[in-house]
Structure 1
């Protein structure tokens, strides 16, 4: 949470320090990707395959990128069950805007192993493109990591994202 968001909660100083400490702990458990520049979908798949490929539930992440396609922040957008995670366009864009991104990439896993985009994956991706462009934070790619070493697919590489 940003400083502004913490102020809006009207927490006591003890509560505020606890939230900040918890945020620091959570941040330290994620992979460190400062100034990592992504040039292709394989770069992202290589980084996230080990972390997401073995999960038994779906996780949707947003990767906030700066104007040079360098990593700025990783945001967990949704967590679901074995067969999906619910996410709206607004739920995905809100934290990406807050992160100050110039562009973003969606990354999620398919626990069953097959990284082929589902109709729901394609619908979310196509629905997200226009609103993302309207706020000048384009969706660069949507990458699906297959579970248990199932490889990956890129909606940019599949020409679903133009």
Structure 2
């Protein structure tokens, strides 16, 4: 690919153009930069779409999860040649990927492990710049009845109301619940406040005969489980 560094994509050999490469060699043959180049369509007078895509990915440490956190304005303001249309194409495609992952996990409705809870919430919470607190409600067979967002906070915390969580569980006739929130910092370790609310919710759930099975803390690439660590 370096041979074509100063050529536009139209001047590349036919088999090296991203769209043609996809058609003739298949999706797996394309790099992340080439797939991104197909989305944005064109670069600028100084660089091809692939070169622009490589620059964008390099600034994201070649991590698609990091790219998924970028907004339309982030992309427009950071890269020459990226306007509304290109930025929207990138953001929309990554959102589709998140929704596909979420849909796949929702089809597996019976919860048997902390990983399965993480699979449900990571597409929802993993990329958020602020904290959100959610509750997963289960029936006696540990099948998902509902998932509710309880509260939304700032970068470092959120406030929850134990009574509202239990009321929602009762309204849904839940037999048990799982708590989940995210840490935008990327640090999956629980804070003292996290542990206090876990203990408070567990005690209240025990009284109401709606046990709290776990509390999951999600980051963009990992999670922490109170149950797995024997802390609930």
**Which structure is higher in strand share?**
1
- Aligned residue for 1:54? 127
Q: 2:226 aligns with which of 143, 155, 162?
A: 155
Superposed CA deviations along residues 75-97 of structure 1, whole A, max 9, x for unmatched, are 11111111111013213212111
Q: What is the distance in 2 between the residues matched to 1:134 and 1:122?
A: 19
From the superposition, tell whether residues 86 and 155 of structure 1 become closer, same or farther in structure 2 (CA, over 3 Å).
Answer: same
Q: 1:127 aligns with which of 180, 200, 207?
A: 200
Superposed CA RMSD in Å reads 1.6
For the pair shown, the structure with the greater C-alpha radius of gyration is 2
Moved over 4 A (4+): none
* 3-state DSSP of counterpart to 1:116: coil
Q: 1:117 aligns with which of 190, 212, 224?
A: 190
* 3-state DSSP of counterpart to 2:228: coil
Q: TM-score, normalised by structure 2?
A: 0.53
* 3-state DSSP of counterpart to 1:57: coil
* 3-state DSSP of counterpart to 2:163: helix
- Aligned residue for 1:67? 140
Q: Runs of 5+ in structure 1 lacking a partner?
A: 1-28
Q: What is the distance in 2 between the residues matched to 1:67 and 1:136?
A: 12
- Aligned residue for 2:37? none
- Aligned residue for 2:213? 140
* 3-state DSSP of counterpart to 1:90: helix
**Which structure is higher in helix share?**
2
Q: What is the distance in 1 between the residues matched to 2:147 and 2:114?
A: 16
Q: What is the aligned residue count?
A: 130
Q: What is the distance in 2 between the residues matched to 1:107 and 1:72?
A: 15
In the TM superposition, residue 34 of structure 1 has moved relative to its aligned partner by 6.1
